[in-house]
Structure 1
Amino acid sequence: MNIRDHSSQFTIYVFTTDVDQGASVKVYLSQAGYDAYFFQDPEALETRLKENPPHILVFSTAALGGSLSDFVTHVQGINDEIRFIAITAISQFDILAQYNSFGFVDVISDEAAALETRVVWSVDRACEKLYLSYQNEQLFDDLQTVKQQVDEVHKAAVTSMKAAAAAEKLETVSFATKIGQYRSAHSKEDLIQRFLNNISGSMCIFFKFLPSVRSFVATHGNGVEGSQIQGVGCQLEADDVKDLNGQLSVGLLPARFNAMLVEAFHFNPPKGLPLYGAQNLEGVFVYSGSLEKGAATQLNEEFALFSLCYSHLALEKKVDALEVQDFVTELHNRNYYVKILADEVSRSRRLKQPVSVVKIAMDDFYEIESSLGEAVRDELLKSVATVIAKTSRSNDQSCRTAANEMAMILPHCSKKGAALRAERLRRIIEGTSFLDKGMKVSISLGISEYPSLCDSAKSLDESATKALSHIVDKGGNKICLYKAPETHRPDFEVPVE
């Protein structure tokens, strides 16, 4: 995420008796888009804390008239949701470490060099965590709301359909059965096809929206052969995308898209039903506006039920993703790594193909943390993780497995190929400048491979870790290939490359 897109939603207070320092930090935060205020007077600060509590209070310990514990306790007594970032001398860091459970998110050295930039970095990381926490809470609430809406629609529809069936003696498909059909779908694509299968007597086509290329591409259809929609799509102009959601919400389609539908499918006029998942436009169902009233009503009623089930599935998928993703690097987390590594080793054993693991650690990790703070450390970790992800193959798995450890699982890759990949990654990181100041970092890498160097998923992980620890102890910025014991016998032979 880019916190600049959301920084205006956060209020930051700066409290220090150093006028130059406070004013300068406030200006930097305001330029970064935050709603920032500077206070020199403790009474003025307390008044504002009571009237409009901030999300984060950046304060200098030198400005405190009393003890730190009294200040923190007093502020939390006003509002316990306020988070703290302290500016203090390095000699005070150990003391402030005792306040982790009191809402402290960072401690910054009071050295004058680049102080304002370091404060902005720290505030950025803290606000990213707050934003994602709020987002996850909202995601959970949305999921519960959708479940409730589905249940309410279910009850209302069952009542309505029973009444209609009794009055007209019609045989109707059980509403509960339809919900069961939708909820049993294994994927979004499966759910879309089930919706189209439930529509009778009308041609309807689903166009997936690809925001990166501003295009609608046909992927599913009812009442039309698959060969007729294969490769059919429309790229929009930049201006078309600006108010796309607004247009779709009132039933309008972009002019270029509309013209293509008339020419290719003779929809006259084309009508669209936009599909959203977790608040993002995922596509649009298109049908002819010349449908008879009964058929159009049936289509729209079916879509209302389908869209609720689709939103429910999209939110469940997003919640599942949060359980396997590392917060800082946005790579998979340790739990996912352990599971997928066992799966890959089992697959390797079945297919008689090697699988390698490369463990990666950032050199001078704890020195960077102690001198520049957790915010800079996390930013560097995220930058390194981004390089790892961009240089990986589509079937590779990248995970964060410890505080200063990331891992690449490389299917169908021998120890030689893994060593080449590791050295290439090391050189890319060594030659890349990170952060706005052009900071350089280096990495150490430990490599192991099943079956040539170990005999299980556990030993594959442990041997890669041993190789990494060995090269870190030797000074780092190198790769190390694990050496198998003489007694090791591979489960199968890997062809020599």
Structure 2
Amino acid sequence: MRNPSEELQDKEEEIKKLKELLELYERVSKLGEEELLAAEQTLNAQETTANLARNELIEMRDRFKGIGSERKTAILEIVNDREVPLPSLANKFEEMGKKDDYFYSDFFRMIANLDLPESEAKSLWKEIYNHAEGLSKQLGRSMNFVVALLDYIYLKNRLIENPKIVDIYSFEEIILNAVIDEGTGIYNRRYFNLVLNKEITRSKRYRRNFCLFILDLDNFKKINDSKGHAFGDDILKLVAGTLMYAFRTEDISCRVGGEEFAVILPETTKDNAKVAIERFRTYLRNSSKNDFGIEVTVSGGVAEYPSDADESSKLYSLSDAKLYEAKLSGKDRITYG
């Protein structure tokens, strides 16, 4: 049988973990550039962020696919609002519960990874709300709901052994708003900017080179106009999937515009980049023809660090200029020179 001092020590360790989670929550909830970088460091992503994070981010994205974007936003606003009084919060929940038959179950599935029937989720909400009221009375001040939720699920009731409340919320917010392009499932423009700057710094430090490949779908407007926007969306997903398949795990593929994509190829010369790019173009032609009955082509430009440019903005501008040159030269080609 454990003695009181051992139980107290365990309790203190749990509280320490809780504080660390809350600190993480506060950092990433701002979703600024500095906070994203801090989140990367906290998660030990550092030099291999794209490689380490890609599968986990997409897996978490898939986990929440059943929850509509409007409901996700409403739930994240609740979790992120640390000033709302408990009575006002109760009114918000009641209003949302009336609008949506599965609001309570989605709430706990999203922030606590608990899969509960709606009736049980609603009962759990009431229990946690009462717990928050009790804590508020004990402390003599209003208790933040997220803290009360953590205390109830993790420390008091132990509904789960390894709670993912704050860190899942943090990852999900990053996925939805800052990292993953919702239309294609690959990284978006904001993340591209972060990684490009980071790759410049890394390559400069270790005296390595890398290539930046910017590409744009040919005649995409015609595809949308003739086949419809839903068909066009499927083509964009095909391009994204082909990028992920054709390039290496350490290469970072991003959607940077409507039908414009970018790939960062670490420690790669233009000659080696050309091999991967031509493989991608072949895969894309074949798969689009087989799956959609049309041959999808791209135009693009490639620039190499540091021989072509040694700053992120100049490297991007040069790659983009080469893309424009490929378009003017008749499309379906890549400018490497």
Checking the alignment, whether the CA contact within 8 Å between 2:113 and 2:164 is kept in structure 1 is: no
> Does the aligned pair in 2 maintain the 1:388–1:425 contact within 8 Å?
yes
Give a deviation string over 1:381-405, Cα, whole Å, max 9, x none: 1111101011221211110001121
Q: Counterpart in 2 of 1:390? A: 245
**Aligned partners of 1:448 and 1:460 also within 8 Å:** yes
Q: Who is 2:163 aligned against?
A: 309
Letter in 1 for 2:8: T
Among 413, 423, 432, the residue aligned to 2:268: 413
Query: Shift of residue 180 of structure 1?
Result: 2.8
Deviation track 1:261-307 (CA, whole Å, cap 9, x = no partner) reads: xxxxxxxxxxxxxxx97358xxxxxxxxxxxxxxxxxxx97891764
| CA 455–363 in structure 1, closer or farther in 2 if over 3 Å, else same | same
Name which of 161, 167, 172 aligns with 1:318.
Answer: 172
Q: How many angstroms apart in 1 are the aligned matches of 2:281 and 2:7?
A: 68
1:321 and 1:417 mapped to 2: Cα distance?
31
2:229 corresponds, among 374, 396, 401, to 374
Q: Which residue of 1 aligns with 2:215?
A: 360
Report percent identity of matched pairs: 27
Q: C-alpha separation between the residues in 2 aligned to 1:354 and 1:180? A: 42
Bigger share in helix: 2
> 1:182 touches 1:306 (CA, 8 Å); kept in 2?
no
**Cα gap change, 1:313 to 1:435, in 2 (>3 Å):** farther
Residues 180-259 of structure 1 aligned to structure 2 (within 5 Å):
180-184=16-20
**Of the two, which has the highest radius of gyration?**
1
CA contact (8 A) 1:326 1:333 kept: yes
Question: Aligned letter for 1:407?
Answer: A
Q: Secondary structure at the match of 1:406?
A: strand
TM-score by length of 2: 0.56
Give the direction of change, closer, same or farther, for the CA distance of 1:174–1:440 in structure 2 (3 Å limit).
same
Task: Return the match for 2:301 from 434, 446, 450.
Answer: 446
Separation in 2 of the partners of 1:427 and 1:346?
A: 33
In structure 1, what is the equivalent of residue 313 of structure 2? Answer: 458
Note if contact 1:359-1:405 (Cα within 8 Å) is conserved in structure 2. yes
Q: TM-score, normalised by structure 1?
A: 0.39
Rounded to whole Å, the distance in 1 between the matches of 2:280 and 2:163 is 43
State the distance in 2 between where 1:422 and 1:382 align: 18
Between Structure 1 and Structure 2, the one with more strand by share is 1
Amino acid paired to 2:171: K
Q: Which amino acid is the alignment partner of residue 184 of structure 1?
A: E
Q: Once the two structures are superposed, what CA deviation does each residue of 1:63-108 show, in whole Å capped at 9, x if it has no partner?
A: xxxxxxxxxxxxxxxxxxxxxxxxxxxxxxxxxxxxxxxxxxxxxx
Between the aligned partners of 2:185 and 2:284, the Cα distance in structure 1 is 18
Gap change, CA 1:178 and 1:440, over 3 Å in 2? same
Q: Confirm whether residue 178 of structure 1 aligns to residue 22 of structure 2.
A: no
Return the letter of the residue paired with 1:404: E
2:296 alignment partner AA: V
Structure 1 SS opposite 2:216: strand
Cα separation, 2, equivalents of 1:431 and 1:170: 64
What residue in structure 2 maps to residue 493 of structure 1? none
Runs of at least 5 residues in structure 1 that lack an aligned partner in the other structure: 1-164, 192-210, 212-275, 281-299, 484-497
> Are the counterparts in 2 of residues 430 and 443 from structure 1 also a CA contact under 8 Å?
no
Helix, strand or coil for the counterpart of 2:256? strand
C-alpha distance in structure 2 between counterparts of 1:383 and 1:459, whole Å: 29
Corresponding letter in the other structure for 2:163:
C
Q: Is this contact kept in 2: 1:380–1:435, CA < 8 A?
A: no
Q: What amino acid maps onto 2:185 in structure 1?
A: E
Would you say 1:432 and 2:287 are equivalent positions? yes
What is the aligned length?
Answer: 212
Indicate the SS of the match to 1:469.
helix
Tell me the amino acid that sits aligned with residue 321 of structure 2: K
- Stretch of structure 1 that moved more, 436-445 or 449-458: 436-445
